[in-house]
Structure 1
Amino acid sequence: MDNDSDRIGAEIRRLRKWRGMTLDALAGQAGMSKGYLSKIENGTTNLERRATIKALADALRVSVVDLTGDHFIADRANSDAHAAIPDIRIALMATTLDLPHGQSKRPVEELALETQRLAEARINCQDTVVGRGLPPLLTDLHATATADTNDRRPALQSLVQATNSTAHFLKNLGAVDLAWVAAERGHQAAQLLEDPIYIAAADYARAQALVGLGAYERADAIARNAASLLTLDSAPAIEIYAQNILTAAFCSSLGGDDPADAIEEARELSEKIETTNAFWLNFSRSNVNLWRLSMALEAGDHVKAAEVAALVDPKDIPSKTRKLRFYIDNARALHGLRRNDGDVVQLLHKAEKLGATRARHNVWAREIVTEMLLRARRDAGGRELRSLADRMGLLHAT
């Protein structure tokens, strides 16, 4: 049978009852029909947009992460990546840039190489490698960055990258509150460097963490301010600028603004430079289309999303993590158009092959599989779907 606690709809129902709210009351406050809310709670329709989740979270007086975080994912204890989260938490909470932290046993050059190794591992979905490497790296970088030596500045530079990697790693696993802590630490390090490129890169991580928390207006403001800091006189500055304006456009589009100008500006910038993959953010020509795809999905325009997805050749996507996200977003588009379930499942399989932990814990993938699984009960098919649901922890024997 399905593990009911693994569904966002079940969490919404639990919180609604705890608040003493009727279906009518919650639906009215969230701006949706009672029938639609009932389908969400029962899992007979999947949540497709961040705006819907945000509206429900606001009406329930909880955060978005209370509905989408890792606290109700059944198999997180069996994930090596999730097992690293307590050590990362300690590494962040037990350190500060305001006080010395002893002495690192590794020279700053070795720490810089390790920082880059883990950044590359993250974009290639090697989550176990990243999870094991981040806690000692964060501790050692803090020790070197707070020492009164010539190694302080390069340690701060590596710390901006390391906390950026940490924030994205944690966000992908659903630990968004802690992702914000990591991003804030990177921002603090960047401020000490007084370098606009590092500050804007750290602010990109902050904005992304806030997107995960559902704080879209603040994320929009931070990303816009980050972009304003940059002079577009180098490829890294252009890449970081473009990622920030796309983040701002994504956030403002959730409120109904048209993102077309930002998308076109980013596209033009992508044509002018050869990417240097600054801060491992993977800005590229194909990356702009991935943003277009995400924005179309959040607008509920599955036709446009499918059209954009058809323009993307996965071979042109430079990182596994972005390719994984493309397959999931493509699946969201086809599922929204009620295309063949088998095609949707195959896309989710491709995402799972690239990064099993990340794909199985992705909120959109889980919503799609849950909804399809309930429909599959009406027939004798769905073997591949049930297998995928089982690996996601959504199907359990009694």
Structure 2
Amino acid sequence: MYPFGRTYRQVMTTGEAPQIGTAIRRMRRWRGMTLDALAGLSGLSKGYLSRIENGRQAVERRSTLAKIANALRCSVGDLTGTFVPSGQGDSDVHAAIPDIQFALVTTSLDHTRVAPQRPVTELKAETARVADARQACEYVEVGRALPSLLVDLHATAVKGTGDDRHEALRCLVLACQVTTLLVRNLGEGLLAWNAAQRGCQAADRLGDPLWGGVAAFAYTQALISLGAYDEAHEHARQAAEGLRADDDKSIQVYGTSILTAGFCAVTAESGQADAEIAEARNLAQRVEHPNAFWLGFSTANVDLWRMSIALEAEDPVVAAEVAEQLAPETIPLRSRRAAFFIDYARSLAGLRRPDRDVVELLRRAEQLAPLRTRNNVFVRSMVTEMIERSRRDSGGRELLGLAERMGLVRTV
């Protein structure tokens, strides 16, 4: 047992990047729980848990993390941790987190201490620029721009009048979506949830189901990052029920909502998603101008959702088949292309394909989105497993280079 009075956060503060297996073992021991007890409470086998703890088994599903976290009476974030920056760019992004948090804590939609600093036309253009930058994986620029943008949008939403106020509220929904998706990828699940909540509050003030659906997407993503899959499923389902898919934009919000609902049902092991995927595919064929509200909805994006859903259903065969039929150049968004390579790598790892093939896909994802790739919980788990399995395989040099940049190994 650890010395009396030490919290789990203090035990986990080692100055090194977290490894999931290590975090699970530390939390289990801190709870005074045996591996047999954890197996019984989580419904997972003792051997499987032992391999995860020792880095010999990658965590392949979100539901696995949720089962372990529930058994250990902790959050998923306690097990996945926050990525430790390994380079200047990574550090710059993380340096923005306190300012983003301060911007949300010191503002509300009921009062503001500052007057609007920028005209609403400029705020609208800045919101679009930041949303574009996030999809282009320009996270440093996004992190720098968000704090002042959030403060200015709140000021106009509170003190503005008429159309200016409503435009500020619409922009705030989008800015909170950007904030949620950025900080979630940095391991800041609670901050993501707070940002998403603010976006939902802005949408409520607008009273428009379409904007409610946009805000609900960010909220469900925050809940997913916290392992609250049933709650995320319910919010996505309610958002879809409130929408009418009768124009280009509403089709995309509705399609994203049903895909999210299907994903959460599979992840929570409470349902299937075949019907949602089929319906979303039909809807995507009707879309004339993809990426409304920066949701990325398109035919190619439906395939990306299908891959993610298959992986959560423990079906790497389907995920790999979809990936092999999907040309990366047909995915216009840099952030989604990175997600494609990560999920493709997960499918090959699940099929026990050669490590060099998995590493090559992860390297391509890292080239597109370095921070997102290095901080991804499944990437970190796969890399740890490959390192433990062999440091001398044919993909060793690329693998060790990736692992070093992720802070999982250190060279001397």
Pairwise TM-score range, normalised by the shorter structure = over 0.9
Is the aligned partner of 1:169 residue 2:182? yes
Unaligned runs of 5+ in 1: none
Q: What's the offset of the Cα at 1:370?
A: 0.8
Which AA in structure 1 matches 2:330? D
d(CA) in 2 for partners of 1:270 and 1:52?
Answer: 31
d(CA) in 1 for partners of 2:109 and 2:272?
Answer: 40
Instruction: Tell me the C-alpha RMSD between the 2 structures.
Output: 1.6
Distance change (3 Å), C-alpha of 1:98 and 1:125: same
Q: What's the offset of the Cα at 1:100?
A: 2.8
Distance change (3 Å), C-alpha of 1:360 and 1:7: same
Distance change (3 Å), C-alpha of 1:274 and 1:61: same
Which residue is 2:44 aligned to?
32
Would you say the 8 A contact 2:356–2:394 is kept in 1?
Answer: no
What pairs with 1:63-212 in structure 2 (closer than 5 Å)? 63-70=75-82, 73=84, 75=86, 79-150=91-162, 151-212=164-225
Distance change (3 Å), C-alpha of 1:133 and 1:381: closer
Which residue is 1:42 aligned to?
54
Q: What's the offset of the Cα at 1:397?
A: 3.9
Which AA in structure 1 matches 2:52? I
**Match 2:398 to one of 365, 384, 389:** 384
Judge which range, 376-385 or 261-270, deviates more. 376-385
d(CA) in 1 for partners of 2:86 and 2:73?
Answer: 27
Which AA in structure 2 matches 1:131? G
Instruction: Report Cα offsets for 1:226-284 as digits up to 9, x if no partner.
Output: 11111112111010001010000011112141210010000010112213421100100
Unaligned runs of 5+ in 2: 1-14
The TM-score, its normalising length taken from structure 2, stands at 0.93
d(CA) in 2 for partners of 1:74 and 1:231?
Answer: 43
d(CA) in 2 for partners of 1:374 and 1:100?
Answer: 53
Would you say the 8 A contact 1:156–1:193 is kept in 2?
Answer: yes
Which AA in structure 2 matches 1:230? L
% identity of equivalent residues = 53
d(CA) in 2 for partners of 1:172 and 1:235?
Answer: 29
Which residue is 1:57 aligned to?
69
d(CA) in 1 for partners of 2:87 and 2:219?
Answer: 25
Distance change (3 Å), C-alpha of 1:196 and 1:289: same
The TM-score, its normalising length taken from structure 1, stands at 0.96
Which residue is 1:288 aligned to?
302
Q: What's the offset of the Cα at 1:73?
A: 3.3
Q: What's the offset of the Cα at 1:74?
A: 5.9
Distance change (3 Å), C-alpha of 1:380 and 1:209: closer
Would you say the 8 A contact 2:338–2:366 is kept in 1?
Answer: yes
Instruction: Report Cα offsets for 1:173-201 as digits up to 9, x if no partner.
Output: 11111001001001001110111111110
**Match 1:257 to one of 267, 271, 287:** 271
